[in-house]
C-alpha cells in the first residue's frame, strides 16, 4: 500500500540489516486549526519492536493514527511496504466500560475488516478468534463482559482483537499504562513473542523499561523527531532531560 503526498524527501533508513515495513518523509498531520506532526521522516523496521517515546502532546498517538490510516496526513510521504492493513489497538481507557460486549465479541470485531460487521463469521474466523483468545490467555474469560475485567485482562482482550486481524503490523497506544508490574511484564513478553513470529510492533509508551526493551525508538518532542535509533543511543539521561522532565 502506498499513500503519497506532496513535498517528498527521502525517508530516513531503518537500522542496518532491517527492511522497513513503514517509511515516511516530510510527514505533517494534525487536526483542524491544530497541527501536531511537523516534517517527520523515519523508517519502521519490519519484524521488530519500535517504541514511540515522548511527553504528552508530543504527537505519539497522532503518529499511530496516521500509520493506522485513521488520520490523513496533510503533507509528506507515507509508504506501507506490506500488503496487509495495520491492526490498531487504542488505549484501553478509550473503550467505554458500559459497552455491552463480551470478551469474545470484542475479539470477534477483529475479523470485521475481512468479513464485514453484519456477515456471519466462518469456521476459519472462529478458529482465528479462538487462537487469539488463547494466545493472550483470556480464553477462560470469553463469556465475561469487557467492563468487568481488570485493567490487565482488558488490555489483553484488546490486543487479542488486534491479533485476530492477522496483520503483520500491530500498532498499540500505551498498552501498559496504568497496569501493575506483573501485567506489564506479561504483555511485554507477549509482544516480544509476536516480533519473534515476524510481526512488526509499534507501541507508543511512557514506560521507559518497555522502550529500552525495544529494537529501536523514535523520540518525539512537540511534533518533531528528536531522536531515532537503538534505545541505548537515544534514551540517555541527557537526551531525555532536554525534552521530558523530570529526567
Domains, the chain, in order of start with CATH, read 1-86+169-178+200-247 (3.40.50.300), 93-166 (no CATH)
- In which band, very low, low, confident or very high, does the pLDDT at 5 lie, cut at 50, 70 and 90? very low
Left, alpha or beta for 225 (phi > 0: left; psi -120 to 50: alpha)? beta
Q: In whole numbers, what is the pLDDT of the chain averaged over residues? A: 88
Inter-residue contact 215 to 45 (CB < 8 Å)? yes
Percent of the chain with pLDDT over 70: 87
> What pLDDT, on a 0 to 100 scale, did the predictor assign at position 8?
36
Query: CB under 8 Å to 233, separation ≥6 — which residues?
Result: 227
Q: Is the pLDDT of residue 159 over 70?
A: yes
Inter-residue contact 46 to 202 (CB < 8 Å)? no
How far is the C-alpha of 106 from the C-alpha of 101, rounded, in Å? 6
> What pLDDT, on a 0 to 100 scale, did the predictor assign at position 179?
86
Q: Is the pLDDT of residue 98 over 70?
A: no
* pTM score above 0.85: yes
> What pLDDT, on a 0 to 100 scale, did the predictor assign at position 180?
87
Q: Which residue has 468479513 as its cell numbers?
A: 115
> What pLDDT, on a 0 to 100 scale, did the predictor assign at position 97?
61
Amino acid at each position: 500500500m502506498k499513500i503519497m503526498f506532496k513535498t517528498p524527501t527521502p525517508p530516513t533508513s531503518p537500522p542496518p540489516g532491517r527492511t522497513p515495513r513503514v517509511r515516511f518523509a516530510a510527514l505533517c498531520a494534525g487536526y483542524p486549526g491544530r497541527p501536531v506532526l511537523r516534517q517527520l521522516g523515519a523508517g519502521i523496521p519490519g519484524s521488530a519492536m519500535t517504541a514511540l517515546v515522548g511527553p504528552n502532546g508530543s504527537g505519539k498517538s497522532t503518529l499511530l493514527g496516521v500509520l493506522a490510516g485513521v488520520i490523513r496526513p496533510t503533507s509528506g510521504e507515507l509508504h506501507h511496504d506490506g500488503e496487509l492493513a495495520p491492526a490498531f489497538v487504542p488505549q484501553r481507557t478509550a473503550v467505554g466500560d458500559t459497552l455491552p460486549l463480551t470478551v469474545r465479541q470484542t475479539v470477534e470485531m477483529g475479523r470485521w475488516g475481512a468479513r464485514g460487521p453484519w456477515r456471519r463469521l466462518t469456521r476459519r474466523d472462529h478458529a482465528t478468534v479462538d487462537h487469539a483468545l488463547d494466545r493472550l490467555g483470556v480464553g477462560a474469560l470469553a463469556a465475561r463482559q469487557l467492563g468487568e475485567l481488570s485493567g490487565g485482562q482488558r488490555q489483553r482482550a484488546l490486543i487479542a482483537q488486534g491479533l485476530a486481524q492477522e496483520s503483520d503490523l500491530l500498532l498499540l497506544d500505551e498498552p501498559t499504562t496504568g497496569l501493575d508490574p506483573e501485567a506489564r511484564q506479561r504483555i511485554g513478553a507477549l509482544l516480544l513473542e509476536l516480533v519473534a513470529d515476524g510481526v512488526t510492533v509499534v507501541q507508543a509508551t511512557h514506560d521507559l523499561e518497555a522502550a529500552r526493551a525495544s529494537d529501536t525508538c523514535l523520540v518525539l518532542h512537540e511534533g518533531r523527531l528528536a531522536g531515532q535509533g537503538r534505545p541505548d543511543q537515544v534514551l540517555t539521561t541527557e537526551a531525555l532531560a532536554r525534552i521530558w522532565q523530570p529526567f
